[in-house]
Amino acid sequence: MREISSKEFEKEVLQGGKVVLDFYSTECPPCEALAPKFESVAELFTDDAKFFKIFRQENRDLSEKLSVKGSPTVLFYEDGKEVGVRLSGGIRRHDLFEGMKALVGKERVKEVRDKIKPIVSEYDVAILGGGPGGLTAGLYLCQAKINTALIDIGLPGGNVATTHMVSNYPGFIDPQPGYMLSHYMSEQTKQCGTTYKVAVDVTHVDLEKKEIVIDEFETIKAKKIIIATGTSPNYLGVPGEKELKGNGISYCATCDAKYFVDKEVIVVGGGNSAIEEADFITKFASKVTIVHQFDKLQANKTAQEKAFNNPKISFMLEHEPRGFQKSKKGVKVEVEDLKTKERKEIDTDGAFIFVGLKPNLDLFNNKLELDDWGYIKTNEDKETSIKGVYAVGDVASKKYRQITTAIADGTIAAISITRELDK
Ligand SMILES: Cc1cc2nc3c(=O)[nH]c(=O)nc-3n(C[C@H](O)[C@H](O)[C@H](O)COP(=O)(O)OP(=O)(O)OC[C@H]3O[C@@H](n4cnc5c(N)ncnc54)[C@H](O)[C@@H]3O)c2cc1C
């Protein structure tokens, strides 16, 4: 696998036979999470195809020509033609294997997969999720000399890593870039000695047996499990949204705002995330239109005042998107005026969606007791309805979801587990 520039695109990709090409950016957590998976899949298929990476920021003309609108984006080429389905956003190892089928066929992919030898590893504690909650639990357990594995489908850092600036984390006088704050947290836990298994696919979890399968071939057995999987952005669920995700529609301003220099975008949402991220996007975009369903914003007063005083931000209150379509400019958004029921189209360069979050629970098969909003119920020690399984941070039932509350949960679960294991 090697890095190329747009100058080599013609020779290496269009005349290169079977090729897999990864467009990546800097300050892009999903790109960093993809990097080790891309490298390992490239090694497995070294005899079948050529694997290249290309830095999107320095090869903008090529990425625009190929309509690459999100980072990372992986494209598959055969004899100069793009084949299969493009991958973008949080790309899993499994997705890369699926993508390879278009290039080398199902049988070859199966053959390669079958050669991977299964392994079993044992730990006292397995933590699922490396956001502030999981990292803090990892730190306390590690300092208590408890053999702990921290597993994340991405890179450690969680939602903090994609937050532009954090101004309410104690210990820092000035606002800290979220990316750096999460880096410090992660390094502290890692340097203590916690085993990291990150940027992996979590393919199966058995909470009763305390077994976690990663990348389909490694089984991790533990005495206790901490679920710290946090939340993911909600989708609007309107036509065209899924199709244009990573191709004009983004859920991460830190990752994608830089591609909208002097462009016009819409931001959907009116809570803290939407308003703070809209303000951040105006560092790049010439105009940001906030589309929000209510007649008032829900963000806190400070964020609202900043947005109202920002000349680049305008508001479409009591409006809701009804659909997205690809356009020559970028994206056509159909919005409905909720008072008059009139619909109109906005042709914009891109759309950012921040309409709340949902707990990441898909792997747990509804076996856990949840609250009315679908978050995991716990007791005072952060233990769930399944003995030996704990839930911390945003995924757990609580009133306020912040970095400090996630960290507090991680601390409580780790101390409680330490006492249990010491008995
Ligand atoms: C845009 C935005 C801005 C914010 N700004 C602030 C702020 O300024 N101050 C503040 O205090 N809070 C802020 N928050 C909230 C704060 O980020 C969260 O409360 C905090 O990150 C929660 O930590 P966590 O560890 O519970 O989960 P998360 O940070 O969500 O981390 C969860 C981790 O679990 C991983 N994961 C998901 N599914 C799986 C799986 N199946 N297996 C393994 N791993 C998995 C994810 O990859 C991720 O790394 C903000 C949130 C957002 C979205």
pLDDT of residue 381: 98
CA 173/CA 18 separation, integer angstroms: 52
pLDDT exceeds 80 at position 366: no
Lowest mean pLDDT among 132-141, 157-166, 279-288: 157-166
pLDDT exceeds 90 at position 132: yes
Which structure tokens are listed for 344? 């109109």
pLDDT of residue 90: 77
Mean pLDDT of the chain: 94
Looking at ligand 1, which atom is closest to the CA of residue 166?
8
Counting the structural domains of the chain, the total is 3
Domain boundary among 332, 353, 374: 353
pLDDT of residue 246: 77
Q: What pLDDT digit, counting tens, does each position of 151-168 carry?
A: 999 889 998 987 878 888
Mean pLDDT of the region 395-411: 95
Would you call 394 helix, strand, or coil by DSSP?
A: helix
Residues 315 and 349 in one domain: yes
Residues 398 and 410 in one domain: yes
Residues 276 and 340 in one domain: yes
pLDDT of residue 89: 79
pLDDT exceeds 90 at position 184: yes
Q: What pLDDT digit, counting tens, does each position of 202-255 carry?
A: 989 999 999 999 988 899 999 999 999 999 999 999 999 988 987 889 988 887
Mean pLDDT of the region 62-84: 93
pLDDT of residue 298: 94
pLDDT of residue 297: 96
pLDDT of residue 128: 98
Q: Give yes or no for residue 409 CB within 6 A of ligand 1.
A: no
Q: How confident is the model at residue 327 (pLDDT cuts 50, 70, 90)?
A: very high
CATH number of the domain enclosing 130: 3.50.50.60
Domain boundary among 63, 92, 114: 114
Residues 375 and 390 in one domain: yes
pLDDT of residue 36: 85
Q: Give yes or no for residue 29 CB within 6 A of ligand 1.
A: no
Residues 344 and 376 in one domain: no
Query: Which range of residues forms the domain containing residue 218?
Result: 119-232+357-422
Residue 123: phi, psi to the nearest 5? -135, 160
Query: Residue 117 has what DSSP assignment?
Result: P
Residues 71 and 173 in one domain: no
Residues 328 and 406 in one domain: no
CA 102/CA 374 separation, integer angstroms: 38
Q: How confident is the model at residue 332 (pLDDT cuts 50, 70, 90)?
A: very high
- pTM score: 0.80
Residues 228 and 262 in one domain: no
Residues 79 and 107 in one domain: yes
Q: Give yes or no for residue 274 CB within 6 A of ligand 1.
A: no
Residues 255 and 340 in one domain: yes
Residues 349 and 366 in one domain: no
Residues 57 and 11 in one domain: yes
pLDDT exceeds 80 at position 110: yes
Residue 417, C-beta contacts closer than 8 angstroms, at least 6 positions apart: 125, 141, 146, 224, 226, 390
State the alpha helices, DSSP H only, in 284-345: 301-308
Looking at ligand 1, which atom is closest to the CA of residue 165?
8
pLDDT of residue 91: 87
Is residue 152 within 8 A of residue 130, CB to CB? The reply is yes
Residue 99, C-beta contacts closer than 8 angstroms, at least 6 positions apart: 20, 74, 76, 84, 85, 87
Closest Cα to atom 12 of ligand 1: 402
Distance from the alpha carbon of residue 330 to the mean position of ligand 1, in angstroms: 29
Q: Give yes or no for residue 72 CB within 6 A of ligand 1.
A: no
Domain boundary among 333, 353, 373: 353
Distance from the alpha carbon of residue 158 to the mean position of ligand 1, in angstroms: 4
